[in-house]
Amino acid sequence: MGGVRELMRCVIPKYSGFCFDVGATVKAAYSYTDGSTYMYGEIVNNPAIINDLQSKGLKLIHNLDDMPKKDGLKVLIRAHGVPEAVINDIIRRGYKVIDKTCPNVKRVQNIVAKASGRGLDVIIAGTPNHPEVIGILGWSKTKTIIIQDLEQAKAIIPNTIFTPNGVCMVAQTTHNRKEYEEIKEYCATVIPNIEFHDTVCDATEKRQGEVRRLAKSCDGVIVAGGRISSNVTKLYEIASEYCRNVQHVESAKEVDLLKLDGVNSLMVVGGASTPDSSVDEIVAAVKKFCSVRNIPFEAEYLRDKAGSDNNEAPWGSAGADSPFPGLYAEKSTWQLPDLFPYAVTPAGAAAVKVMKDFVISASSAEGRPGEKVTVDISVENNPGIAGFVFNIVYSSGALEFVAAEGSMLTDDVTAGNFEISESLRSLRALWVSSKAIINDGVLYSVTFKIKDDAPEGELPLVLSYNNGNISSLCLDTLYPKLTHGVVTVYNSVLGDINCDGKIDIKDRILLTRYIAGDITLSPSRFRLADLNRDGMIDSIDAAMLDQLILSQA
């Protein structure tokens, strides 16, 4: 037993728990628990989440042959993605594809598919048997090798004959950033014609960097997450480089509390597929352990604290003692806002703090005249919002505002509403509270109806500051970077590429000729041919079009 200590300090990093995309995938999965949806492999590498989803009706398969042969079934694609052949097989069997592949993973798949299409060989830096790597591998049609670390690169690459066309190198999105840089540096010296793509996702890099920084000053580290989770394993490995006392657990029950004897400074961190509740349960177990031993315990949440008070900053309600100014000094840059030409620039912009990491963004949506679409107004790298005023500028001639719902705003609201200004074709979003939000995520979900006479094309959704007035963000005059969205209107039916009112072999011929490189398509016809909405026209779209043609025969 260790001696009596004055205090055990437990720190929970800012970048801990669900990343934004995994959180969105899990949230979506809970909307498909009616018994007609099958997830193809575990959507995330977290047993607790998978077990809970299964208990609520979402079914798990690892082989399409395990699905019953009946109409109306759906297949949910995991966040790690799957090979192209699996998508094609799902469509061929007549099931509906619900693709929840992480956007960062989808980007890697697209890079590999395009590089392979140009005749390049591919190198993937990653874990060979990981589902994400298997999925990426399945989008390449040329020679592809998987390299796990520098030692393996030195053993395999000199003995591999690559095509003279060149080589494309990508990394698994959760790969160790430091290892990937080492592999890239080596490959640049031995492969004369190689292109590198930076595909380690931002959320992964931030988590690894923070664990690397904090582990240096900790006596103990507990990494929470699934045992087969790549991003969790990487966090464990990085923490072990700097701390001798590191545990990898899936739940609070697995924590070896006796290893905490003698620990004065502890870090508890969750991987990108670990819910905040798992981390909080571990912190509670450690707190109880300290209480039994009469050791004072202090938890410092650098991340958003979960629980009933998850909207309140860890330093309490916004007030005079808020540490915002110091936070600004570390994260801010002085520059003018990057806005669309017709967005309003704030008064005194030359002296405005624009925080390059602090972002409020509008998502994009698509639909046809008469349909309703919903766009999300989200915040990223939130320093702590106690209020805001900004405009959403939209095309009132083509879009009609229906409703807005705040998804993570506190109930303690001093003022909060949406005001419509048809003359200015904008919505004015106003929210002020005595409690600060520190979460990243969706502030508002805004629903529009596409008017019946709306033209086909893209309608911009522009976020702007409120007519030059100070935006009420936190306690200071802060201006986040604003990222704008688009509502895309389709008058024609998807698949009707020649716009003749029918989906038939003529459309299939156009799609085939485009894929072969014989013709080009205008932007509007490209959208009609891109049936799965991934920004590419490929064999997946061809398979989906074949299914549409058969269904109308």
The proportion of the chain whose per-residue pLDDT surpasses 90, expressed as a percent, equals: 31
Q: What is the pLDDT of residue 273?
A: 83
CATH class of 20-101: alpha beta
Question: The dihedral of CA 395, 396, 399, 404: what is its sign?
Answer: positive
Residues with a catalytic annotation lie at 132
Q: What is the pLDDT of residue 476?
A: 43
Q: Where in the chain is CATH 2.60.40.680?
A: 327-489
Q: Which residue has the higher pLDDT, 400 or 457?
A: 400
Q: Which amino acid is at 306?
A: A
- Residue 308, pLDDT above cutoff 50: no
Q: Where in the chain is CATH 3.40.1010.20?
A: 8-16+206-301, 104-200
The values of phi and psi at residue 281, to 5°, are: -65, -35
Q: What's the order of all strands across the beta sheet hosting 441-450?
A: 399-406, 441-450, 372-380, 353-362, 476-483, 472-473
Q: What is the pLDDT of residue 61?
A: 93
Q: What is the pLDDT of residue 387?
A: 64
Q: Where in the chain is CATH 3.40.50.11270?
A: 20-101
H or E element at residue 213: helix 202-215
Nearest CA among 293, 308, 299 for reference residue 279? 299
Question: Region 124-143: what's the mean pLDDT?
Answer: 93
Q: Is the pTM of this model over 0.75?
A: no
Whole-angstrom distance, CA of residue 351 vs CA of residue 353: 7
Mean pLDDT, the chain, as a whole number?
78
Whole-angstrom distance, CA of residue 362 vs CA of residue 364: 7
- Provide the CATH topology of domain 104-200: Cobalt-precorrin-4 Transmethylase; domain 1 (3.40.1010)
- Residue 254, pLDDT above cutoff 90: yes
CA distances (Å), origin 286, targets 219, 225, 246, 254: 14, 17, 14, 12
- Residue 479, pLDDT above cutoff 70: no
Select the CATH number that applies to the domain covering 327-489 from these four: 3.30.1780.10, 2.60.40.680, 1.20.1600.10, 3.40.718.10.
Answer: 2.60.40.680
Nearest CA among 326, 313, 545 for reference residue 436? 313
State how far Cα 290 lies from the chain centre.
36
Q: What is the DSSP letter of 257?
A: G
Separation of first and last alpha carbons in the chain: 77
CATH match of 8-16+206-301 with 3.30.300.30? no
Annotate 330-387 with three-state secondary structure. HHCECCCCCCCCCCCCCCCHHHCEEEEEEEEEECCEEECCCCEEEEEEEEECCCCEEE
Q: What is the DSSP letter of 455?
A: P
